[in-house]
Amino acid sequence: MRRAVRVLLAAFLACLPLSFGASETNRVAEASDRSLTFEERVEAQEAIERVYYSHQIGVTRPFEEAVPREVLEKKVRTYLKQSLDLAELWDTPITAERLLEEWRRIANTSSLPERLREIYAALGHDSRPPDIGQPFLSL
């Protein structure tokens, strides 16, 4: 499950700008109007990694030492490449609609919905991802 969440978040970073409006339809339309810069993607990846790191048991090094910028940049490049590879393999682009569907699927089956909320908040949004279904709405 953790790998699935990382892959989904990577896809969001690679393909979907993190600018959501009042409704899902508006969010999808707005998302297709703007792409994240490489620097914005690295900053978002850092926010996600900080959440993961904060939940690791027995860490002794500061985050900046344990996860240097080079590692973050490499992950972003890898995620961008994987997104392009998937789009080529499927012979169709990864759309905002598909990402939202996958986000809902993972959110609805997650054993750690509070972690998803924490990641989403770390990315600068309110405490719940967009329209993700009953598990988040009821918590």
18 DSSP assignment: S
pLDDT digits (tens, 9 = 90+) for 67-88: 999 999 999 999 999 988 988 9
Determine the Cα–Cα distance for residues 35 and 117; give it in Å rounded to an integer. Answer: 23
Q: Write down the pLDDT at residue 55.
A: 96
**CA 96 to CA 135: how far, in whole Å?**
22
Each domain of the chain, given as residue ranges in start order, spans 2-137
Cα separation, 44 vs 26, in Å, equals 22
Q: What angle do CA 75, 77, 79 make, to 5 degrees?
A: 65
Residue 16 burial class via C-beta count within 10 angstroms: exposed 0-12, middle 13-18, buried 19 and up: buried
Mean pLDDT of the chain: 75
